[in-house]
Structure 1
């Protein structure tokens, strides 16, 4: 299977779509699956397999996620992409994360997000990208601001984090507002 990739200065972004997800789970052994997904332990693999068996694509609706791979080391350092994609309405929610503390505060997510937003607006035909963030997540809020996302409001007690209901703040970016830092 051919895997779609986007290349930036320091990163390779490898697309994980529902078709890719099905392919790797049906054709890769445990070792290959762990390597391809950047999983660190047998416990991580068990969680991944459970997500897949319960219908990961249905859980997050339609999705296009990109693994962030460091070009120098080949190590998977995080992810960035779209879930809860509504093609009929040309909108999706974006999510992103870096796995390791040593990769943070280096501009890697800015680099990745620029490419992923461009992909969403050009390749996926998105008109609107939504982001839901914890109100205390300053790095994420600064990242959204850098790209011109607009604050829309607070969703009260929206996420269950460790048994505590937390608020989310909603931001959005429309295609004509997209600025590339």
Structure 2
């Protein structure tokens, strides 16, 4: 191929316009993907915070009386959301009351026993955080809306977010290929 400076000015302009258009398209698409990822994460935190408040509210009496069976039944309802990996409830001292995991079928009679390879965070200072491919949500469990009697920890897989990112990246790549 001829060097760029050896080409006629008309072809040089066409090449420059195509390159500028391709770079602009790539930057705009990348910005769209970054914003979508940010908005998706924000919406995920919002939805799961609401869900955690509901579960924490439903579990307050069971936590107050250390009823592991009832707490576990409340945690079992999280199975309706395919992205939730695990959940646990601890008392105000950080002691496990009940635990649930999508991957481990633990009998409800063993609700108060820990599940191997499942993390249960308690007494942490954050409300939500993204770490190691998961979103962790911590929700205090309150008695009479004022006294903190325990904590709910929900761990969510980010596989849906990662799939979305991969699909958008492939679409971006295909668009850039089609334009060039």
Band the TM-score falls in, shorter-chain normalisation: under 0.3
Could you state the TM-score of these two structures normalised by the residue count of structure 1?
Answer: 0.26
Larger-gyration structure (1/2):
2
Higher strand fraction: Structure 1 or Structure 2? Answer: 1
Could you state the TM-score of these two structures normalised by the residue count of structure 2?
Answer: 0.26
Higher helix fraction: Structure 1 or Structure 2? Answer: 2
Q: Which has the higher contact order (CA 8 A, sep 6+)?
A: 2
